[in-house]
Amino acid sequence: MKTKIIQIGNSRGVRIPKSFIDESGLKNEVEIEIDDGKIVIKPISINRESWDSAFQKMAKKGDDVLMDSKTLSKQTKWDEEEWEW
């Protein structure tokens, strides 16, 4: 689709058709960046948004074990004598 750059106050912009907005999942706020000479507009990503599904996949594969379980299973003198709740 071809469109024109228009004046918006002291800035310039383009009109994005509603169908493009709906299909892209853009909301009120977006991230905008330059990538190899192209302007990229994308939805704001929410940190850790996909962690739940990643954890579920790890559990199914048996990949959700403590890597230092041997260290954690050993009690130290501090654990036995000094630790209090």
- Residue by residue, what is the 3-state secondary structure of 16-32? CCHHHHHHHCCCCCEEE
Q: What is the predicted pLDDT for the residue at 47?
A: 75
41's enclosing H/E stretch is strand 38-43
| Mean pLDDT, the chain, integer | 86
CB atoms within 10 A of CB 19: 8
Gap between the Cα atoms of 18 and 43, Å rounded? 15
Q: What percent of the chain has pLDDT over 70?
A: 94
pTM of the model: 0.48
Lowest mean pLDDT among 4-8, 19-23, 25-29, 49-53: 49-53
Residue 67 near residue 79 (C-beta atoms within 8 A): no
Assigned CATH for 1-65 = 2.10.260.10
Residue 67, SS3 per DSSP = coil
Q: What is the pLDDT of residue 69?
A: 67
